[in-house]
Structure 1
Amino acid sequence: MPGSDPITGFHFSVVFELVPQFSIDTKFQSVSGLKVTMETEPYTEGGQNKFKHNLPLRSGYQDLVLKRGLTNDLSGLSLWCNQAMDDFIFYPANLIVSLLNEKGNPVKVWYVAKAIPLSYEFSDFNAEENKIVIETITLKYNFFKEIPIPF
Structure 2
Amino acid sequence: MAGQVYPPVGFHFVVEFELFPKTDQDTRFQEVTGLNVEMQMESIREGGENRFEHQLPVRTKYSDLVLKRGLFVGSDVYRWAKDAFENFQFQPVNLSVTLLNDQHAPLVSWHVVHALPKKWDISAFNAEQNSIAIETLTLTYRYYTTIRN
TM-score, normalization: structure 1?
0.92
The residue aligned with 1:95 is 95
In 1, Cα distance between equivalents of 2:125 and 2:22? 27
AA aligned opposite 1:141: Y
1:60-93 Cα deviation digits (max 9, x unpaired) = 1000000001133x10000000000000000000
SS of residue in 1 equivalent to 2:79: helix
1:84-116 Cα deviation digits (max 9, x unpaired) = 000000000000110000111111111100000
AA aligned opposite 1:67: K
Task: Give the 5 Å matches for 1:2-151.
Answer: 4-19=5-20, 22-72=23-73, 74-149=74-149
SS of residue in 2 equivalent to 1:28: coil
AA aligned opposite 2:40: E
Give unpaired runs (5+ residues) of structure 2. Answer: none
| Percent of aligned pairs sharing the same letter | 47
Give the drift of 1:23. Answer: 2.2
TM-score, normalization: structure 2?
0.93
In 1, Cα distance between equivalents of 2:69 and 2:7? 25
1:27-64 Cα deviation digits (max 9, x unpaired) = 10000000000111110001221211111100010000
Q: Which moved more, 1:2-11 or 1:55-64?
A: 2-11
Give the drift of 1:9. Answer: 0.7
AA aligned opposite 2:57: P
In 1, Cα distance between equivalents of 2:69 and 2:122? 10
In 2, Cα distance between equivalents of 1:64 and 1:95? 11
After superposition, the Cα gap between the structure-2 partners of 1:128 and 1:91, relative to the gap in structure 1 and judged at 3 Å, is same
- Across the two proteins, how many residue pairs are aligned to each other? 147
AA aligned opposite 2:86: D
Aligned-CA RMSD value: 1.5
